[in-house]
């Protein structure tokens, strides 16, 4: 096995809200990663640049030692910025290793346990008209599952009218598609503990596939009460960044589906470990992915190698992707072609996506300064977006 000495680390901040990383070895083999926190791209880029001192001159084959060095070598550990920077680096190193050996990453993780992965996409949730229109469009594209926001802005204790309105969107979808369409509901951490049970009472009749982030992760202790209240599967994890963050909720038995993000939770190396922990607790895996093609490819490599992976999110057509979409920077967009609700096994070496660097360079001239909206209640107080 050759040394694959890391020689160059490059970053590309491109619209709609993405940050791509290219790591190139002295031998000319390169790998792609996607290290970004939505709305904090420059901060993550600064972190990647700081960490690059530990990369240059190292063998790209030393993925685990590099991971441990980057995680433990800075004394202060974890959190969204460090773990997202580490995630992109880790993705790029796995891409290099796969390419150097001529195999897809899932082969290096033990081989595929499935030949295709069930997918879902986002359809909004803010108005009934948009939900029906977008759901019809996605079903025509071949999707058998969708996800939507359960609520808009919500106060700590809100009105009965808002509670009733929340159920209208999923009711319309059930009337339109019956049980042929799986529907995930994303609470997005917008709902406080005092409102969750009232919302569940309204939603239970429509059998959602799962309820995502019923409370903010800093309030995960509330899951003890929510979990026993409802038979609807509880999903969470997009704002959890390591196996240590997931350890407590798995041990307490208050989650049915974990949703680590391949660009936030330490990359392929760490999410593989998180998935194995979840398997030991009989918990399913559904990686979070509202980002670009490298993040999605990384998630799929995990899905193909993990027996407890049940469904995969895709950002194709998501409302964030204004002007640029998931396939626009790819030389081989066909690998993400949906077939009867599934994406087939990725077979190209490495992560399985080929990035058009010339398009990246052009888009980098445009760049972005994306940040999430700031929402306020009627009285002017801040509320969760």
β-pairing verdict for 257-258 and 284-285: parallel
> Is the peptide bond between 108 and the residue preceding it cis, with omega within 30 degrees of 0?
no
Q: Residue 79: CA atoms inside 13 Å, Cβ hemisphere, count?
A: 11
Dihedral angle sign, alpha carbons of residues 107, 109, 113, 118: negative
Q: Residues with Cβ < 8 Å from 183, sequence gap 6 or more?
A: 145, 146, 147, 148, 170, 173, 174, 206, 208, 209
- Active-site annotation holds for 225: no
* Candidates 192, 264, 288, 368; catalytic one: 288
Strand order in the sheet with 30-33: 6-14, 18-25, 30-33
Of the residues 61, 188, 192, 264, which is catalytic?
188
Question: Do the beta carbons of residue 118 and residue 310 sit within 8 Å?
Answer: yes
Active site residue 288: yes
Q: Is 340 exposed, middle or buried (0-12, 13-18, 19+ CB in 10 A)?
A: exposed
Distance, CA of 267 to CA of 241 (rounded, Å): 10
Cβ-Cβ contacts under 8 Å for 159 (sequence gap 6 or more): none
Distance CA(193)–CA(63), nearest Å, equals 41
Asked whether 263 and 88 are in contact (CB, 8 A), the reply is: yes
User: What is the DSSP annotation of 126-147?
Assistant: S-HHHHHHHHHHHHHHT-SEEE
Which residues are part of the catalytic machinery? 188, 288
């Amino acid at each position: 096995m050759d040394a694959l000495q890391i020689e160059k680390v490059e970053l590309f901040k491109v619209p709609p809200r993405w940050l791509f990383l290219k790591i190139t070895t002295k031998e000319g083999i390169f790998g792609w990663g996607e290290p970004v926190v939505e709305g904090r791209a420059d901060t993550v880029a600064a972190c990647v640049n700081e960490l690059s001192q530990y990369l240059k001159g190292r063998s790209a084959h030393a993925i685990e030692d590099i991971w441990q060095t980057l995680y433990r070598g800075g004394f202060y550990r974890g959190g969204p910025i460090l773990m997202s920077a580490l995630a992109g680096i880790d993705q790029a190193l796995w891409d290099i290793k796969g390419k150097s050996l001529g195999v897809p990453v899932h082969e290096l993780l033990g081989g595929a346990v499935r030949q295709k992965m069930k997918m879902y996409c986002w359809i909004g949730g803010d108005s009934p008209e948009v939900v029906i229109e977008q759901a019809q469009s996605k079903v025509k594209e071949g999707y058998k599952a969708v996800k939507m926001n359960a609520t808009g802005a919500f106060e700590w204790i809100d009105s009965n009218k808002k509670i009733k309105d929340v159920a209208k969107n999923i009711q319309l979808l059930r009337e339109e598609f019956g049980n042929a369409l799986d529907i995930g509901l994303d609470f997005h951490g917008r709902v406080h503990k005092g409102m969750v049970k009232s919302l569940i009472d309204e939603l239970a009749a429509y059998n959602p596939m799962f309820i995502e982030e019923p409370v903010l992760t800093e309030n995960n202790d509330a899951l003890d009460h929510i979990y026993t209240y409802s038979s609807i599967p509880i999903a969470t994890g997009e704002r959890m960044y390591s196996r240590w963050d997931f350890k407590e909720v798995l041990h307490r038995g208050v989650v049915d589906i974990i949703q680590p993000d391949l660009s936030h939770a330490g990359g392929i190396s760490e999410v593989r470990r998180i998935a194995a922990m979840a398997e030991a607790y009989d918990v399913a895996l559904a990686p979070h992915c509202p980002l670009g093609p490298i993040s999605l490819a990384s998630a799929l490599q995990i899905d193909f190698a993990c027996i407890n992976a049940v469904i995969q999110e895709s950002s194709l057509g998501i409302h964030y992707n204004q002007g640029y979409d998931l396939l626009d920077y790819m030389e081989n967009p066909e690998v993400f072609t949906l077939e009867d609700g599934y994406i087939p096994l990725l077979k190209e070496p490495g992560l399985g996506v080929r990035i058009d660097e010339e398009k990246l360079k052009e888009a980098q001239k445009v760049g972005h300064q994306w940040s999430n909206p700031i929402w306020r209640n009627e009285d002017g107080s801040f509320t969760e977006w």
